[in-house]
Amino acid sequence: MKRRDFIRSSVSAGMFTGAAFTLGSYGALKAADSTSSFQLPYDMVAIRGGEPGEMFDRGIASLGGLKQFVKPNQTVVVKPNIGWDTTPEKGATTNPELVSAVIEQCKLAGAKSVYVFDNPVAEWTRSYAYSGIEEAAKKAGATVVSGKSEGYYQNVSIPKGKVLKNAKVHELILESDVFINIPVLKNHGGSTLTIAMKNLMGVVWDRQYWHSNDLHQCIADFATFFQPDLNIIDAYRVMKRNGPRGVSAADVVTMKYQIIATDMVAADAAATKVFGMEPNQLRHLVLAEQSGVGTSDIDALKINRLTLST
Amino acid sequence: MRQKHLRILRIIISVFFLVFMSALFVDYREFIPVSYAKWVLYPQLIPSVISFITLPAALATGFLLILILTFLFGRVYCSAICPLGALQDVYAFLSKKFRIIKRYKFKKALDYLRYPFLGLTVVFLLFGSMLVLNLLDPYSSFGRIFSDLARPGVVTVNNLLAAQLEKMEVYFLFRVDMGLFTWQTIFIPIFTAVLIIWLSVYFGRLYCNTVCPVGTTLGLLSRLSLFRIKMDRLSCTRCGKCAFVCKSNCIDIKNFKVDFSRCVACYNCITACEYNAIKYEPAYARKPVNAELSADRSKRNFIGKSLLLGMALTGLKQKSTAQDHDNLPPGDIPNNRQHPVSPPGSVSLKHFTDRCTACHLCVTSCPTGVLQPSFLEYGISGIMQPHMDYSVEYCNYECTICSQVCPTGAIMPLTVDDKKLTQTGVVHLILDKCIVVTDNTACGSCSEHCPTQAVRMVPFQNGLTIPELNETVCIGCGACEYACPVRPYTAIYVEGNPIHQVAEQPQTESLEYREHEDFPF
């Protein structure tokens, strides 16, 4: 069963109320997915010291290449953080070089089409343009799609959600085979940090509900519903304060890190440490772990640490 | 060039203006660069006059060109340049095509309507109100019809097409949300559109010769024109073909007279005449025409009454806000906003409301849709003049497009750097309504959206953070108000600055960062 078949079934579950049944089949499905289809040499790859594209190419190669995740003729959604109409130096959006490296690898793995979108907080055409992501993605051969019309979003139910029971999600994540999450690591006034789990807010339409109903819990709830096939955390330029938008480039330090992992919780935990905080300080991370989304015990994971000399 | 060719020249120019203007006012995707738009906006009479008063004169001489043209050849503006005139010609053309009107005939001028409409406009202007001018100005009426009525239609068609194309993996057209439809003011463009259709289908250019203050003004000037369309008694056979095609009903065959004050210079008559008996002639070659400019009694009577009405209206600018709200949920307690927020570049509420003709070009151009036609925010006099509606969207930090397109100077041109320091309003916070306080939950939506960190999150209790304000760096963009989840009346809102101020530069101390020796895990 493919991701989209599963999500389609939960879309219909949103319409009816037989959520318990879906919940049962969901766990079984994810378990089957992660054991039988492929075996990864590491749980996580952490890279430091190189340029964003180079770090990704080296990191993914050590996992056996992106073909571990993307099969020929599959459709892929690549979801960077394009939340703001700021230039890459401001660190508010995912590094365009990284986005283009990921798309190129998708193409090499034989992806039929690669879609890139976000539901930006700032005016979306400017966000796509100023972030440099639209140009980089198009050049790399992806289809850049709008996330800024309610018509693109479909209602889904979130059976394991404690607060968030429903959400309107972009139809492309329902229709595509593979989802690759490329968040940028940065400070965030509301959610403390924004990393992989928080980045998924960009596939959701009705986000105001999250803000008025315990933001951290909603982020964790959505993570129980949707786990990307791969998370690549861009910690090349890291916004240390005034996030998520930032005021100027002075809010940003160049750290040159990258984390690649399938487990969002583990990826966020590692990135939290890169930022200089402990995972238990990030509430949505703790809540997501409690809900069984993943583990923050990164010491127990098999990590490939790569330091590139520049 | 032979005078017979004037008509085709007029048609080419007017079609150009009509097509360009229509596109401009429905251009929800910023296809048309502002530098191109400037050229079609340049000769629009009312915007040009206002911007001439406001901006450096060299940028806004379009109306001088029109006045010179009028002084030479009559109301060339009305048929060649005015977009509403061209639109009426389309309806009049269709009316003839479908034989609703077969031929026009001479009618007397409706002086008892056209001068009062002009008078009322002038009187309101003297009392500092743009209201009547804004309701009647043809350029602005055209703008509203296309921005408020046609644009939603275009967006609807776009969305239907886009949804089909996306199924075929074509993403060039993307779906666009309609944004807010301002029901309270939509009846004005609807009324204008219906009036225009009705009048142009059945009565040719009656709007231009009774309602339109621009037409009447140019009509007065054209009584002095150096060249006027005249009939030649000797060549004329009184066949009447010229009068049949005259949309202004101003050719009086019986008396061999053309009422040139109503002639919109469409040149249909010149082309229609087989004997070359009606054409431009120098006005002062023979005995000058007796210009009937003296004000009659009814006019004086009317102006007196209008003065009274104007005075009455100035008293209508205020609205009451005081309300009792002790037991309401936080979101239901209204913000006591004293002043609306006018767009950045508009200098002050007075500068803006004195100059904006409510053409809604900025409403079309605004990429976020924060600029919306107002209802009573600026008072009755300012109805339809756009305001910043933070319940819909907020002002994009990097964008200055409204200040670039505004043809009147109501919104003065701003550079992006200046815009980032233009304080259109100041943030206000009612902490008792804030969701962090009322619900004990994390939020930070306001701070998250704030581009200058005039709103930042500071420690509260239980590890939560609450907003704290630094008004000096606030520019009034409304991001915080837009993002606030407390509805319908937000916990954080922007109070408009009656006179825009300069905000301070946000802080930019650099951060200390020592590179890690190794991975921190």
Tens-place pLDDT, residues A94-138: 999 999 999 999 999 999 999 999 999 999 999 999 999 999 999
Q: Which residues of A touch B397 (CB under 8 A)?
A: 85, 122
On whether residue A32 sits in a domain, the answer given is no
Structure tokens at B146: 């296309």
pLDDT tens figures, A66-83: 999 999 999 999 999 999
Please report whether residue A34 resides in a domain: no
Residue B467: pLDDT over 70: yes
Residue-wise pLDDT for B299-314, tens only, equals: 445 554 554 454 444 4
Tens digits of residue pLDDT in A26-56:
433 343 344 334 689 999 999 999 999 999 9
Q: How many Å apart are CA B245 and CA A277, to the nearest integer?
A: 82
CB B136 within 8 A of CB B121: yes
Question: At residue B149, does pLDDT exceed 50?
Answer: yes
Query: Which pLDDT score is estimated for B58?
Result: 63
| CB within 8 Å of chain A, chain B residues 136-165 | 159, 163
Residue B290, Cβ neighbours under 10 Å: how many?
Answer: 7
* Residue A118 lies inside a defined structural domain of this protein: yes
Triad B163, B166, B169: Cα angle to 5°: 170
On the question of pLDDT at B381 being above 60, the answer is: yes
Q: How do beta strands A178-182 and A75-80 pair?
A: parallel
Helices (H), B98-233: 111-126, 131-136, 138-144, 151-167, 183-203, 206-210, 213-222
pLDDT of residue B418: 96
Mutation target among B401, B443, B510 for the A interface, most CBs of A within 10 A: B443
Domain that holds residue A168: 41-307
B364 pLDDT higher than 90: yes
Per-residue model confidence (pLDDT) at position B503: 96
The shortest C-alpha distance from B343 to chain A (Å) reads 17
> Where exactly are the structural domains of chain B?
3-154+193-282, 330-502
Chain A nearest-CA distance from B172, in A, is 9
> How far A104 CA sits from the closest chain B CA (Å)?
19
Percentage of chain A beyond pLDDT 90 is 78
What's the mean pLDDT in B496-512?
88
What pLDDT sits at residue A11? 55
Query: Which residues lie closer than 8 Å to B193 by C-beta, 6 or more apart?
Result: B145, B149
pLDDT of residue B44: 94
Contacts with A4 (C-beta within 8 Å, 6 or more apart), sequence order: A174, A175, A176, A177
More confident residue, B322 or A214: A214
**Substitution target from A214, A242, A259, A268 for chain B, most B beta carbons within 10 A:** A242
ipTM of the complex: 0.82
A250: nearest CB among B398, B485, B510: B510
CATH class of B330-502: alpha beta
Interface contact flag, B443 A190, Cβ < 8 Å: yes
- B340 within 8 A of B377, measured Cβ to Cβ: yes
Domain count, chain A: 1
Which of A146, A213, A247 is closest, CB to CB, to B506? A247
Distances (CA, A) of B28 to B19, B151, B268: 16, 8, 36
A85: nearest CA partner in chain B: B398
What is the CA angle B84-B86-B87, rounded to 5?
A: 60
- CA torsion, ordered B326, B328, B329, B335, to nearest 10 deg: -80
Q: Do the beta carbons of residue B450 and residue B480 sit within 8 Å?
A: yes
- Determine whether the interchain pair A244/B448 forms a contact, defined as Cβ–Cβ distance below 8 Å: yes
Taking the C-alpha atoms of residue B349 and residue B108, their distance in angstroms, rounded to an integer, is 43
B169 shares contact with chain A (CB less than 8 Å): yes
Which chain A positions have a beta carbon within 8 Å of B453's beta carbon? 242, 247
The DSSP symbol for A150 reads G
Which of A113, A191, A298 is facing B521, going by the closest CB pair? A298
pLDDT score of B28 more than 50:
yes
Note the pLDDT tens digit of each residue in A145-198.
Answer: 999 888 899 999 999 999 999 999 999 999 999 999 999 999 998 889 999 999
Residue with tokens 């009814």, as numbered in its chain: B298
Q: pLDDT: is B335 or B302 the higher one? A: B335
Mean pLDDT, residues B315-335 taken together: 58
Q: Which of B456, B509, B513 sits opposite A253 (nearest CB)?
A: B513
**Taking all residues of chain A, what is their mean pLDDT, rounded to a whole number?**
89
Q: Is the CB of B521 less than 8 angstroms away from the CB of A303? A: yes
DSSP B386-430: EEE-TTT----TT--HHHHH-SSSSS----HHHHTTEEEEEEEE-
CB contact under 8 A, B520 and A276: yes
Task: Provide Rg for chain A, Cα atoms.
Answer: 18
User: Is the confidence at residue B21, as pLDDT, over 90?
Assistant: yes
Query: Which is more confidently placed, B283 or B414?
Result: B414
In chain A, % of residues over pLDDT 70? 87
Q: CB A251 to CB B457 under 8 A?
A: no
Nearest to A126 among B175, B399, B457 (CB): B399
Determine whether the interchain pair B443/A274 forms a contact, defined as Cβ–Cβ distance below 8 Å.
no
pLDDT at residue A212, rounded to an integer: 83
- Asked whether residue A11 is assigned to any structural domain, the reply reads no
Question: Which site among A73, A215, A216, A277 would you substitute to test the B interface, given the most B Cβ atoms closer than 10 Å to its Cβ?
Answer: A215
Output DSSP code: residue B229: E
Angle between helices A283-290 and A264-275 (to 10 degrees): 160
In a domain, A85, yes or no: yes
Q: CB distance A216–B442 less than 8 Å?
A: yes
- How many CB pairs below 8 A link A and B? 130
* pLDDT surpasses 90 at B512: no
Structure tokens at A53: 């594209």
Residue A24 has pLDDT above 50, yes or no: no
Q: Do A245 and B451 touch (CB under 8 A)?
A: yes
Which residues from A are below 8 Å from B365, CB to CB?
none
Q: Which residues of A touch B510 (CB under 8 A)?
A: 250
Residue A31 lies in a domain: no
High-pLDDT (> 70) share of chain B, %:
91
On chain A, the residues whose CB falls within 8 A of the CB of B398 are 85, 126, 130
Q: Report, as an integer, the average pLDDT of B139-145.
A: 97
Ordered alpha helix ranges (H), B249-348: 268-272, 297-314
Picking from A125, A151, A252, the nearest residue to B163 by CB comes out as: A151
Distance in angstroms (rounded) separating the CA atoms of residues A220 and A127: 26
Q: Rounded to 5 degrees, what are φ and ψ at B274?
A: -80, -15
Contact A303 B516 (CB under 8 A): no
Say yes or no: B433 contacts chain A, CB-CB below 8 A.
no
| Cα gap B158→B178, rounded to integer Å | 11
A254: domain CATH number is: 3.40.50
Q: Virtual CA dihedral for B310, B315, B317, B318, nearest 10 degrees?
A: -170
User: Cβ–Cβ of B441/A126 closer than 8 Å?
Assistant: no
pLDDT value of position B61: 86
Nearest by Cα to A184 from A193, A173, A174, A175: A193
Structural tokens at position A263 = 């487990």
- CA-closest candidate to residue B181, choices B173, B191, B190: B190
pLDDT at B323: 43
The answer, yes or no, to whether residue A20 has pLDDT greater than 50, is no
Indicate the pLDDT class of residue B332, thresholds 50, 70 and 90: confident
Contacting residues of A for B511, CB less than 8 Å apart:
240-241, 250-253
Q: Choose among A46, A121, A250: nearest Cβ to B508.
A: A250
Q: Is B293 on the interface with A (CB under 8 A)?
A: no
B contacts of A211 (beta carbons < 8 Å): 435, 443-445, 483, 485
DSSP helix/strand/coil, B55: coil
> Given this model, what pLDDT does residue A48 score?
95
Q: Quick one: tokens of B391? A: 């319940």
Dig out the tokens for B461 from the structure. 């209790």
CA distance A145 to chain B (A): 7
